[in-house]
Every structure is written in structure tokens, then in C-alpha cells.
Copies of this chain bind each other. A is one copy, B any other.
Amino acid sequence: MVKASLFLAAAFVVTPALALWPQPRNLQTGSSALKLASSFHITTTIHNAPKDLHDAISRTSSFLKTDKLGRLVVGRGSSDAAVVSRARALPSLTLSLSKGAKINSIAAEAHKALDSRDEAYMLHVPADGSGATMTANTTLGLFRGLTTFSQMWYAYGGDTYTIDAPWIIQDSPAYPYRGLMLDTARNFFPVTDIKRMLDVMSWVKMSVFHWHVVDSQSFPLEVPGFTNISTLGAYSPSSIYSASDVADIMNYAGARGIDVIMEIDTPGHTAIIHEAFPEHVACPEAAPWATFANEPPAGQLRFALPDTAKFTADLLAAAAKMSPSKYFSTGGDELNTPCYDQDVPTQQQLQATGQTLFEALSNFTATTHGALAAQGKTPVVWEEMALDYNVTTLSNETLVMVWISSENVAAVAQKGFKVVHAASDYFYLDCGAGEWIGADPNANSWCDPFKSWQKSYTFNPTANLTEAEAALIQGGEHLLWTEQSGPENVDPIVWPRAASSAELFWSGPGGNGSMALPRLHDVAYRMRARGVNAIQLQPEWCALRPGKCDLTS
């Protein structure tokens, strides 16, 4: 169907069509009005389609009825009413898998290794009153296409319509890793908030939820066999993700095309484990904290001790068993050496074995990553593990997250590691909200200024890389560290800002911010229509008058 229609392409006007986010990589639109028939329905030709695809169809059908997004122009679509009243009606959308495609659930496809995921889809919405069709090689591709389809429509009066029919879309992402990181340790987020975040992520085709679940301040994760850590280390009994909560989140994410990469940051960022296992933690709550940690409280795993290495490996393995993902993050950032300098058991062990601290770290890493490998997991680490600690035991399959500065990407790629962009200078959502340590009236956040959507949107994922190095880039993510966040502000601090990287890593770099802004308004208005507290990017006066508030207008 789609291929045949491509013959019509020459007659189409190629426009940066509004409303779609991320922008499809191949998009042709027309200039005809088309409305959804009152009997419009979505069907599939797939025999025994998986439940999560049926659920996705139901959610899409519901959005088509409830979004009721007026077009973002003065009058909110009143000027379309006449042409829409005469428009053809679209009777249906039919989803099909390519011939011979294996029928997996969306979740199963989303849990594949990054380089094996197939998210491509083709969508044809004719303007002549015949049915729309969508094809893909996977249910995950169909899900991405449904997401696109749900963004194509505006509402006015009783009609749900487009004025850009027909549509022909051939789409697939530039990068497989399009992520969002949430820290649930500095402050706790109930499951319902995480699910809402996963919903929004799916609406902009994000593919990875990087769950920084625990840290020095609290340990809200119930790990089978290690439940004392959360019993003693969570903020309260109601601030714990139970094993069934975790399974619930994994399932919810998977059904929305999202892989969950859990992180248990080690050996730093582990102070709270001291409450349950004091024998494994050096310098717990040592003062002044600034000498022993980048933020309070101090406390790090005694990784040089064989017992602690085994304890950590067992903990990571038990946590990894909770996740269907191929990936698991062991963290590895911000190791503080003065903490170990004054830790007697660590110093005794180093002396007894003749190891340096970082030699011991290499051994520790071999042990913990070995335990993950036994679970079939690929390790994920922060950049220091690749660049700063002389760790000799990292597999080249390791995903390395570059956070300190985007300027460090080339060094990681030069070492042959796969890279996930997570640079604080582009993607940190917490920057620019003041300092939270103490009462200094003139202190700002360490990563000031605020990282605007415009900033992240202009990021170049392959800057300063050779072609071979560029091939190591898996994509990137926005990150929310939650020293100053909780359920109260998670929506406005994340949305629609994080959508900028979702488009960057799906549609590819080089997008024009001024051209993108009207579409970003659209997706933000749609988020609000779906109950998410996405912020206003501009006065509504500007949102309804594309381009009029640009500095050159």
C-alpha cells in the first residue's frame, strides 16, 4: 500500500507539519482536510496479536476522542470549520506486520539489545476516504506508528481532523537509546508518578527509562535477599519499591516500548547501606561531608575487601534478576579517595595485597560485572570508570554514560566504548534552580545555568568524532537529579523540555529550533490535555502565532 502511494509524492507539499513530535524522518503531507469517521476504528490483521498491542490500540483510540486539542492558531481551528465540514471521513486504520515477521509483544521487542531493536514503521493516511494503513516489522514499530497517528489530529466543534492529508510516513529512529533518567533516592516518587512519566516518555517515543533507584540518601528498592537495606535505608515503609512494584513498573514501561535500565550506583553513592551492613561501608556520615563526598552524606562501599566485593556482586545480581532489560548500571561516579585514605580495613587490605586503590577497583569491577554477565546483563557505567580510575576490567560492550561534560565524549569513544550522551552541559534538568546545600545567598547550582530545550535541541551527538567513533554513539538521555525535586515538580521540570532530546535522538541532529517550537507547543498542549503538568514555553499569545515572538519578528 505505502509503496504504491509513493507515486503520488510529487503532488504533495513537504512541510514541517505541526503536531508531530518527534518529527518523522520521512514525511509527506498534502493539503486536503480529512476527519475521523464517527465509526472510526483501529484494527489489526495480526492473528493473535499480543495483549500490549491491543492495549496500545485502545489507548490510541481513547486519545483520539479525549485529546480535543484545538489547532494552535488564533481562533483555535474556527477557520478550518468550513473545509472540515466538507472533508472526507477516514473510516479506519489497519495495522499489519511485514510478511514473515515474528509476533512478539511490544515489551519483548523493547527489551532486546539496543542494536537489535526495530522501531521502524510506515503509515499511509489517504485523503480519499479509504482506510489508513500501517506496517512494521515488529509490534514495537507499530506502537511507534500509533503514537504518530495519535498526534496527527486536531479538534474543533465535534470534528477530529487534519488539514494536511494525505500523509505518507516512513519512519525509524536515528539512535536506539532515547532516554530519561530519574533519581528516586534523593527524594522518593510513588509508582503512580513513575507511570505517568513513562506514559509521557512513550508519547515522544523515548525508549529507555534509566532508573537511578538508590543512592547515599535512601535505598527505596526492595531487593530479594537484601530486604534489610530498604527496611533500614528507605525514608519510610511507604517509600519502598517492592518487588511487585518493580515488576509493575517494568511491565508498564515495556508495554509502552520502554526498556528500564536500573542503576545501583557503586562503590560510591552508597552511604545508606551502612544502616543495614555497616561492615561494608567506609566513612559513613563522616564530617565535614565535603571532604568525603560530593554531597551529604559521605559513605562508600569498601570495595577493596573481598567480602564487600562479594556482597556487592550478590546484591547487583539479585537486583538484576528483577529486570527484563539486557542492561544494568553499576554506576561508578564521583569516587572519593580521602574516604578510603582514612578507612583502616581498606588500608589494611591494600597493604596486605600490595594493590593500589584503583587496582582494587579493577578487581571489584571484574567481580561485579562478572556477576551481571552471569545474568546475561551488559554493564552500564558513568564516564569516570572509563576515563579516570584506570579500570582495566571493563568489557568493550559496556555502555558508558558521559555526564561531566560533553567534551569528554571523544575520549570515551577513542577507548572504543559505546557511549550514551548524558552531559550535564546539555541534558541536566536540575541545573539553574539554586544551591541546596546551606544558606549561602549567592550560591547557584554547580551546573548553572538552566539547560533550556533550545540548548539540548542543538546538541550534536557526533561532534569531534571520527566515523568509527560516531558508530559507538547509542543515543542519549535527559536526567533529573532530585535534590530539589519530588512528585510536586517532576512534571513541570521535565516536560516538555526533555522532549527536545527525544526528537534529537529520533529525528537526528540539526533541527531548527525556531521551526521546532510550534510543534513543541503542540506536544506540550497535548501533554496537558492528557493530564500532565507540562509547562507553558511562552505566553499563549505566542503559542497561537507561530514565529511572531521570535527575536527577529
Query: Are A218 and B541 in touch, CB under 8 angstroms?
Result: yes
Q: Please name the residue on chain B nearest to A481 by beta carbon.
A: B539
A552 to B207, CA, bound (A): 42
Known: A486-B536, A541-B296. A553 touches B187 (CB 8 A): no
Residues of B near A272 (CB, < 8 A) are 541
Query: Are B513 and A288 in touch, CB under 8 angstroms?
Result: no
**One of B482, B517, B540 near A187 (C-beta < 8 A):** B540
Expressed in whole angstroms, the minimum distance between the Cβ of A236 and any Cβ of chain B is: 7
A452 to B539, CA, bound (A): 24
Residues of B near A486 (CB, < 8 A) are 535-536
Known: A187-B540, A296-B541, A513-B439. A553 touches B289 (CB 8 A): yes
Query: Are A488 and B539 in touch, CB under 8 angstroms?
Result: no
Q: Any chain B CB within 8 A of the CB of A436?
A: yes
Residues of B near A455 (CB, < 8 A) are 434, 441-442
Mark contacts of A513-541 with chain B using CB atoms, 8 A cut-off: 1 yes-contact digit, 0 otherwise.
Answer: 11011000000000010000111111111
Task: State which residues 202-237 of A face B: CB under 8 Å.
Answer: 216-218, 235-236
Q: Please name the residue on chain B nearest to A534 by beta carbon.
A: B488
Query: Are B437 and A551 in touch, CB under 8 angstroms?
Result: yes
Task: State which residues 429-481 of A face B: CB under 8 Å.
Answer: 432-445, 448-455, 457-458
Q: Please name the residue on chain B nearest to A185 by beta carbon.
A: B539
Q: Any chain B CB within 8 A of the CB of A405?
A: no
Q: Any chain B CB within 8 A of the CB of A411?
A: no
Query: Are B441 and A539 in touch, CB under 8 angstroms?
Result: no
Copies of this chain assembled into the complex = 2
Query: Are B441 and A483 in touch, CB under 8 angstroms?
Result: no
Q: Any chain B CB within 8 A of the CB of A191?
A: no
Query: Are A217 and B439 in touch, CB under 8 angstroms?
Result: no
Known: A454-B443, A539-B186. A76 touches B236 (CB 8 A): yes
Query: Are A541 and B436 in touch, CB under 8 angstroms?
Result: no
**One of B295, B438, B444 near A552 (C-beta < 8 A):** B438
Q: Any chain B CB within 8 A of the CB of A542?
A: yes
Q: Any chain B CB within 8 A of the CB of A188?
A: yes
Query: Are A187 and B536 in touch, CB under 8 angstroms?
Result: yes
Q: Please name the residue on chain B nearest to A489 by beta carbon.
A: B492
A492 to B485, CA, bound (A): 9
Residues of B near A440 (CB, < 8 A) are 454, 513, 551
Contact residues of A: prevailing secondary structure: loop
Expressed in whole angstroms, the minimum distance between the Cβ of A550 and any Cβ of chain B is: 4
Residues of B near A48 (CB, < 8 A) are none
Known: A289-B553, A443-B452, A528-B488. A541 touches B297 (CB 8 A): yes
Known: A433-B450, A540-B218. A488 touches B535 (CB 8 A): yes
Q: Any chain B CB within 8 A of the CB of A192?
A: no
Q: Any chain B CB within 8 A of the CB of A548?
A: yes
Q: Any chain B CB within 8 A of the CB of A14?
A: no
Which of A186, A297, A540: most chain B CB closer than 10 A? A540
**One of B443, B457, B491 near A441 (C-beta < 8 A):** B457
Q: Please name the residue on chain B nearest to A512 by beta carbon.
A: B439
A484 to B452, CA, bound (A): 12
Task: State which residues 167-196 of A face B: CB under 8 Å.
Answer: 185-188
Q: Any chain B CB within 8 A of the CB of A83?
A: no
Q: Any chain B CB within 8 A of the CB of A290?
A: yes
Query: Are A217 and B539 in touch, CB under 8 angstroms?
Result: yes
Query: Are B448 and A434 in touch, CB under 8 angstroms?
Result: no
Q: Any chain B CB within 8 A of the CB of A287?
A: yes
Residues of B near A533 (CB, < 8 A) are 487-489
Query: Are A450 and B432 in touch, CB under 8 angstroms?
Result: yes
Q: Please name the residue on chain B nearest to A524 by beta carbon.
A: B488
A328 to B295, CA, bound (A): 48
Residues of B near A285 (CB, < 8 A) are 548
Expressed in whole angstroms, the minimum distance between the Cβ of A530 and any Cβ of chain B is: 12
Task: State which residues 245-296 of A face B: CB under 8 Å.
Answer: 272, 285, 287-290, 295-296
Residues of B near A243 (CB, < 8 A) are none
Q: Please name the residue on chain B nearest to A455 by beta carbon.
A: B441
Question: Which 9 A-B residue pairs are closest in the complex by CB-CB distance?
Answer: A439-B513, A434-B452, A489-B492, A217-B541, A488-B533, A186-B539, A441-B458, A486-B536, A438-B551
Q: A287-B553, A441-B458, A488-B534 are in contact. List 18 more A-B contacts (CB 8 A).
A: A186-B541, A187-B536, A187-B540, A218-B540, A289-B548, A289-B553, A297-B541, A297-B548, A433-B450, A436-B549, A437-B549, A437-B550, A439-B512, A442-B455, A482-B536, A484-B537, A488-B528, A489-B492
Subset of 6 A-B contacts with CB under 8 Å? A186-B540, A218-B539, A296-B549, A435-B452, A484-B537, A489-B533
